[in-house]
């Protein structure tokens, strides 16, 4: 009688373990495939999120200065066919609400991490970062080690850009450039603080073993640029090479027939880079 009861008890325990495993697997996959589209309450203000697709890793699209998730309209749906994707609007941009506190890249990265937590979008992450969004990707990797599995820099900005312009421009030209930051995503002073944070992160050499791809635009419209833009372009490709040097596992590609917005001018180049990085990790 005792042995029979013992066998029944063991059978019930095994069944319970199996059922628990099935439930955990089911709930995990439901959560992993759940689309999130709309504003997420961040405590008094909302951030707009567009999260589609399922699978790992999660691809996070980080837009450039003053830009929105719409910049990825040709890229994100294609990547979402094979894995989970996440784009969003930073506070004060696109469909997100304004938030009146200090807005350096450092604060924005902390906000993004909190947003990912609220939406239950877990890592590992691959960042696809355009222009100034490259700062966000680099600081995220520094602030949350182990969560970033790879970065694709799309014509990314350099932390040395402002000091280069300050040396190369006449005072009145530099003043005009500084004025671009009035009533925008953040101020000129906040830009300087953001660049300083990126420089500090660089000293830690945290990207050295993280796969990165640098996509650089081979611009066609150089003849039509103003003096500030022309000065930047004289150094731009060197900065692109510098970004590629941050990792021992880097790929640097030049994209023909594209302006600064590679993801809009030549979206397939970005799609191919993301697919190649994911493929190498699987």
Residue with tokens 């397939």: 268
Cα–Cα distance, 182 to 178 (Å, whole number): 8
Q: Cα–Cα–Cα angle for 231, 237, 243, nearest 5°?
A: 120
CA atoms within 13 A on the CB side of 240: 25
3-state class of 14 per DSSP?
helix
Give the model's pLDDT for residue 176.
Answer: 85
Q: Are 273 and 155 in contact (CB under 8 A)?
A: no
Cα 121 to chain centroid, rounded: 14
Q: Using the Cα atoms of residue 267, residue 268, residue 270 and residue 274 in order, give the sign of their dihedral.
A: positive
**Which residues share a beta bridge with 40?**
47
Q: Cα–Cα–Cα angle for 27, 274, 35, nearest 5°?
A: 30
Q: Are strands 148-154 and 212-217 parallel, antiparallel or unpaired?
A: parallel
Give the model's pLDDT for residue 230.
Answer: 76
Give the model's pLDDT for residue 217.
Answer: 93
CA quadruple 179, 195, 158, 168: dihedral, nearest 10: 50
Question: Which candidate, 157, 115, 116, places its Cα nearest to that of 136?
Answer: 157
**pLDDT tens for each residue of the chain, 282 residues long:** 555 545 544 444 444 443 333 343 333 443 444 688 999 999 999 999 999 999 999 999 999 999 999 999 999 999 999 999 999 999 999 999 998 777 899 999 999 999 999 999 999 999 999 999 999 999 999 999 999 999 999 999 999 999 999 998 888 889 888 888 887 898 999 999 999 999 999 999 999 999 999 999 987 555 445 667 778 888 999 999 999 999 999 999 999 999 999 999 999 999 999 999 999 987
- Tens-place pLDDT, residues 154-166: 999 999 999 999 9
Structure tokens at 257: 């027939």
Question: Which candidate, 191, 175, 150, places its Cα nearest to that of 274?
Answer: 150
Q: Are 49 and 115 in contact (CB under 8 A)?
A: yes
Residue 167, class by beta-carbon neighbours within 10 Å (0-12 exposed, 13-18 middle, 19+ buried)? exposed
Strands of the sheet containing 36-41, edge to edge, are 36-41, 46-52, 85-88, 58-62, 125-130, 148-154, 212-217, 250-255
The CATH superfamily of 35-281 is Alpha/Beta hydrolase fold, catalytic domain (3.40.50.1820)
């Amino acid at each position: 009688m005792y042995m029979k009861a013992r066998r029944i008890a063991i059978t019930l325990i095994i069944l319970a373990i199996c059922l628990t495993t099935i439930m955990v697997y089911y709930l995990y996959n439901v959560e992993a495939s759940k689309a999130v589209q709309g504003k997420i309450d961040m405590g008094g203000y909302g951030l707009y999120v567009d999260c589609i697709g399922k699978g790992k890793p999660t691809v996070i699209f980080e837009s450039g200065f003053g830009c929105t998730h719409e910049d990825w309209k040709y890229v994100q749906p294609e990547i979402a066919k094979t894995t989970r994707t996440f784009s969003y609007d930073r506070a004060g941009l696109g469909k997100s609400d304004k938030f009146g506190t200090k807005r350096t890249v450092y604060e924005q990265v902390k906000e993004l991490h909190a947003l990912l937590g609220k939406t239950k979008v877990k890592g590992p992450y691959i960042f696809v970062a355009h222009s100034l969004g490259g700062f966000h990707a680099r600081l995220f990797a520094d602030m949350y080690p182990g969560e970033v599995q790879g970065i694709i820099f799309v014509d990314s900005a350099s932390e040395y850009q402002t000091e280069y312009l300050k040396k190369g421009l006449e005072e009145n030209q530099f003043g005009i450039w500084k004025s671009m930051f009035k009533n925008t995503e953040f101020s000129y002073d906040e830009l300087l603080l953001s660049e300083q944070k990126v420089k500090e992160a660089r000293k830690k050499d945290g990207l050295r073993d993280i796969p990165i791809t640098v996509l650089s635009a081979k611009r066609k419209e150089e003849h039509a640029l103003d003096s500030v833009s022309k000065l930047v372009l004289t150094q731009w490709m060197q900065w692109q090479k510098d970004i590629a040097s941050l990792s021992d596992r880097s790929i640097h590609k030049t994209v023909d027939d594209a302006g600064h917005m590679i993801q809009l001018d030549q979206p397939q180049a970005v799609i191919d880079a993301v697919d190649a990085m994911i493929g190498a990790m699987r």
